[in-house]
Amino acid sequence: GAGVSQTPSNKVTEKGKYVELRCDPISGHTALYWYRQSLGQGPEFLIYFQGTGAADDSGLPNDRFFAVRPEGSVSTLKIQRTERGDSAVYLCASSLVLAGIGEQFFGPGTRLTVL
């Protein structure tokens, strides 16, 4: 069975540009999460989807960041007017259970470099 996949694996862009990062969760997983891991840090929570709706977007750093999951499966994290400080590995995870404790399965991440 396929795990969580993320594309692209690497993205290099210039300051000020717009980028989209894609996440394909494990089939049937209703919950989807985005995290950001900066160099030397652990992953930091960005946003959580339950189905199509963002149940908690409290981790998004500012309004340049936006994420969608229109059909309740694939999700796209969108970053406008990228800054050098946005450089990090962006991790996506998905889980099966709707409530209570659910193990989160992580993808390999997208390494974003903003020059």
- Answer yes or no whether residue 12 interacts with another protein by CB under 8 A: no
**What is the DSSP secondary-structure string of 34-83?**
EEEE-TTS--EEEEEEETTEEEE-TT--STTEEEE-TTSS-EEEEE-S--
26, 91, 112, 114: which one binds another protein (CB under 8 A): 91
- Answer yes or no whether residue 114 interacts with another protein by CB under 8 A: no
Residue 22 Cβ vs another protein, minimum distance, rounded to whole Å: 15
Contact window for another protein (CB under 8 A) among 11-19, 43-51, 60-68, 75-83 = 43-51
d(C-alpha 2, C-alpha 108), whole Å? 12
Applying the rule CB under 8 A, the residues between 61 and 90 that interact with another protein are: none
Element (H, E) at 31: strand 31-37
Contact window for another protein (CB under 8 A) among 12-20, 61-69, 72-80, 102-110 = 102-110
d(C-alpha 92, C-alpha 8), whole Å? 12
SS3 85: helix
Q: Which residues make up the interface to another protein (CB under 8 A)?
A: 4, 31, 33, 35, 40-45, 48, 50, 55-56, 59, 91, 93, 95, 97-109
